[in-house]
Chain A
Amino acid sequence: DAGVTQSPTHLIKTRGQQVTLRCSPKSGHDTVSWYQQALGQGPQFIFQYYEEEERQRGNFPDRFSGHQFPNYSSELNVNALLLGDSALYLCASTLVGGYTIYFGEGSWLTVV
């Protein structure tokens, strides 16, 4: 049973560039959420996708956008990268109405 998978695992981008991170949810899960974890901090909720729509959003600017595909996989896009966007980006999946939330191993983004 495949867990939550994310790609790429590590990447380096330059200020002002754009980045796309990808996530495949755990088998059977239909809801995907994204979190940003800065060094030494707990993860912060970015947004949640269900039925290909953004259902809820945390306190993040519009530079952060996402998408969910019919197979439930998801992308996180960040435009106009800032140095402060350097973080571990975690994808989590769950079954709507379920309580267990599983995370992937994350994508480490460094902005230089």
Chain B
Amino acid sequence: AQKITQTQPGMFVQEKEAVTLDCTYDTSDPSYGLFWYKQPSSGEMIFLIYQGSYDQQNATEGRYSLNFQKARKSANLVISASQLGDSAMYFCAIRVYSGGGADGLTFGKGTHLIIQP
């Protein structure tokens, strides 16, 4: 079974500062993908970034980057130049690929990020 640990229940950050949200994972499967989602109070899960276990480079999507440290089983999300609209819950998730298919996502408990002006 897979497990995601997010150790920061909540974070307060000043606008325009960079933010790092922590995520560690546990799986015995060699082929997997790591995801980060943003969930505003409306409830929708917004896809931010993806990192495959065999990807050599860290993923980047605009202001979002994923600091992937495979040996440490760490997949931290970095948001550069934070904005007020970044305030939301952030979830890290893992998906294992095996037997020609893919499992459902396993999520962490999330980090509540609040950007202060």
| A contact set with B: CB distance below 8 Å | 33, 35, 41-48, 55-56, 58, 88, 90, 92, 99-106, 108
Interface size on B, residues (CB 8 A): 24
What is the 8 Å Cβ interface bit string for chain B, positions 86-117, against chain A (1 contact, 0 not)?
00000101010000010111111110000000
- Chain B at the A interface: SS class: strand
Contact of B45 among A43, A44, A55, A56 (CB under 8 A): A43
Chain B residue numbers with a CB within 8 Å of A92 are 45, 105
Interface residues of B (CB under 8 A from A): 4, 33, 35, 37, 42-47, 50, 52, 91, 93, 95, 101, 103-110
Report how many A-B pairs have Cβ atoms within 8 Å.
59
**Nearest-Cβ distance from residue B10 to partner chain A, whole angstroms:** 12
Q: Contacting B50 at CB < 8 Å: which of A90, A99, A106?
A: A99
Q: Are A43 and B105 in contact (CB under 8 A)?
A: yes
Residues of A contacting B46 with CB < 8 Å? 103
Within the assembled complex, what's the spacing in Å between the Cα atoms of A45 and B1?
A: 13
Q: How far is the CB of B43 from chain A (nearest CB, A)?
A: 4
Task: Give, as a whole number of angstroms, the nearest-CB distance from B61 to chain A.
Answer: 11
B93 contact set on A, CB distance < 8 A? 42
Decide if B47 touches A45 in the complex (CB within 8 Å): no
B95 to chain A minimum Cβ distance, whole angstroms, is 8
What chain B residues lie within 8 Å of A33 (beta carbons)?
104-105
